[in-house]
Amino acid sequence: MTLLEALGRGIPDDRLVTDADVVASLSGDEAEWAHVGAAAVALRARTEDEVAHAVTVCADLGVPLVPRGAGTGLSGGANAVDGCVVLDLSRMTAVKEVDAENLVAVVEPGIVNDDLKAAVAEQGLWYPPDPASSPWSTIGGNVATNAGGLCCVKYGVTRDYVLGMRTVMGGPAGYGNVVTLGRRTAKGVAGYDLTALMVGSEGTLGVITEVTLRLRPALAGKPRTVVGAYRSLVDAGVAVAEVTRRGLTPSALELLDRACLTAVEDWKHLGLEADAAALLLARVDTPGEGGDAEAQAVVDAFGAGDPMFAMVSTDDDEADALFAARRLAYPALERLGPVLTEDVCVPRSALPTMLGQLEEIARRHDVTMATIAHAGDGNLHPLLITPPGDDAARTAAQAAFEEMLDAAIALGGTVTGEHGVGLLKRDGMLRELDPLAIEVQRGIKQTLDPLGIFNPGKVL
């Protein structure tokens, strides 16, 4: 029996995509530099049963299965491997339950982050994790990558909001069986934390078909925005380190360099001025006078980097435009040429040193670099941009990319703060982690997926 026939036995024909162009469009994520294989077929699943059937068929026939949400990943995690089934979960979008009494939501994996936020907001609730891709990326993808975002500096990452899930697994569970993991209580320590293991597993251990999420009450009032402008990236890094040193926790602390501001302005004409080498944007969401004092404390800490100016914004439109620019920076830079995206994360005190080293490495390799950062987390996204078709520039950027990973490791940091390992950071991860920890990870993969069908070649 062919793969298509076997899939067709449990899945309606209209879910199966064989048109080469459509399959290709579902075969890659946003990591332009990562290899994309040739998928055999794409499946746009609508139910958990269809997912389970696909996993059973792939296990029986030894065919790789690559889950995908919206394909906004930046490490090649959702890229097809040759001969695989691409399993598109973006049509499983139901909000199954919002339990306002217990601050819990149960959703299908394909719901877009912003759509979930809007759905729970109707009941006065809030789902905090806010990757800059929140208008497009799915909760399944966010969970599978343990996505971070802007407000993580105060409210934590996706992991902190995942209570449980349903997952189609293999190994000891038997391929194609649905396993319920986790809980919906505020606390719970029954057995090994398999929910935590699935968070950030990048589709390599099973397919997430439902997620139980922790919510918070919606915030009241409008946050204050603090802006600081700096003559250099390192100066901005000094200011960020000072914010941490003083024990301040703004609800966002982002960095944008001049190249990002210019790229967004050239594209969207928001009226941004790009005089400074780097801008820091902080948000303070504490209500009332306490918030006023906190915002002023952030202004004071910003002073440590000898800013051109640092102030609480009094112009809501300007503040909104600056945060919009932060979210638009990546697509704006993509217009300039293929982008290789770093995601290094260092201890916050090491931020000025790391920013200096990034500039030095880019200069030495003669690579064009633009930097955005969740600076308050020490999470930096230098974006290496090469002219289309310039192989020499590409080789130089690749060398700079690896050196930046090594610089982060040397400062006690990690090669990926939030985007995941995927294809692009596999070598870097091997250099970062204890070799015995790598062996434990290989053991886990072997136990849970002995046939190696779940997103093979990613992470490990």
Ligand X SMILES: Cc1cc2nc3c(=O)[nH]c(=O)nc-3n(C[C@H](O)[C@H](O)[C@H](O)COP(=O)(O)OP(=O)(O)OC[C@H]3O[C@@H](n4cnc5c(N)ncnc54)[C@H](O)[C@@H]3O)c2cc1C
Answer for which of 125, 147, 274, 322 binds ligand X (CB under 6 A) is 147
Binding flag, residue 202, ligand X (CB under 6 A): yes
Binding flag, residue 208, ligand X (CB under 6 A): yes
Binding flag, residue 210, ligand X (CB under 6 A): no
Binding flag, residue 212, ligand X (CB under 6 A): no
Answer for which of 27, 133, 212, 232 binds ligand X (CB under 6 A) is 133
Q: Which is nearer to ligand X, 70 or 281 (CB)?
A: 70
Take residue 54 and report the two structure tokens written for it: 């696909």
Binding flag, residue 70, ligand X (CB under 6 A): yes
Answer for which of 6, 27, 28, 30 binds ligand X (CB under 6 A) is 30
Binding flag, residue 331, ligand X (CB under 6 A): yes
Helix-helix angle 233-245:288-302, to 10 degrees? 130
Answer for which of 11, 41, 207, 253 binds ligand X (CB under 6 A) is 207
Binding flag, residue 138, ligand X (CB under 6 A): yes
Answer for which of 16, 144, 362, 396 binds ligand X (CB under 6 A) is 144
Q: Which range of residues in 35-43, 132-140, 362-370, 436-444 is near ligand X by CB under 6 A?
A: 132-140
Query: What part of residues 383-412 is at the interface with ligand X (CB under 6 A)?
Result: none
Q: Which range of residues in 60-68, 188-196, 215-223, 236-244 is near ligand X by CB under 6 A?
A: 60-68
Q: Which residue is nearest to ligand X (CB)?
A: 141
- Output the CA–CA distances (angstroms, integers) from residue 265 to 213, 259, 282, 339, 374, in the order listed: 37, 10, 20, 18, 20
Q: Which is nearer to ligand X, 182 or 307 (CB)?
A: 182
**Which positions touch ligand X (CB under 6 A)?**
29-30, 66-74, 77-78, 89, 109, 131-133, 137-138, 140-142, 144-145, 147-149, 202-203, 207-208, 330-331, 418-419, 455, 458
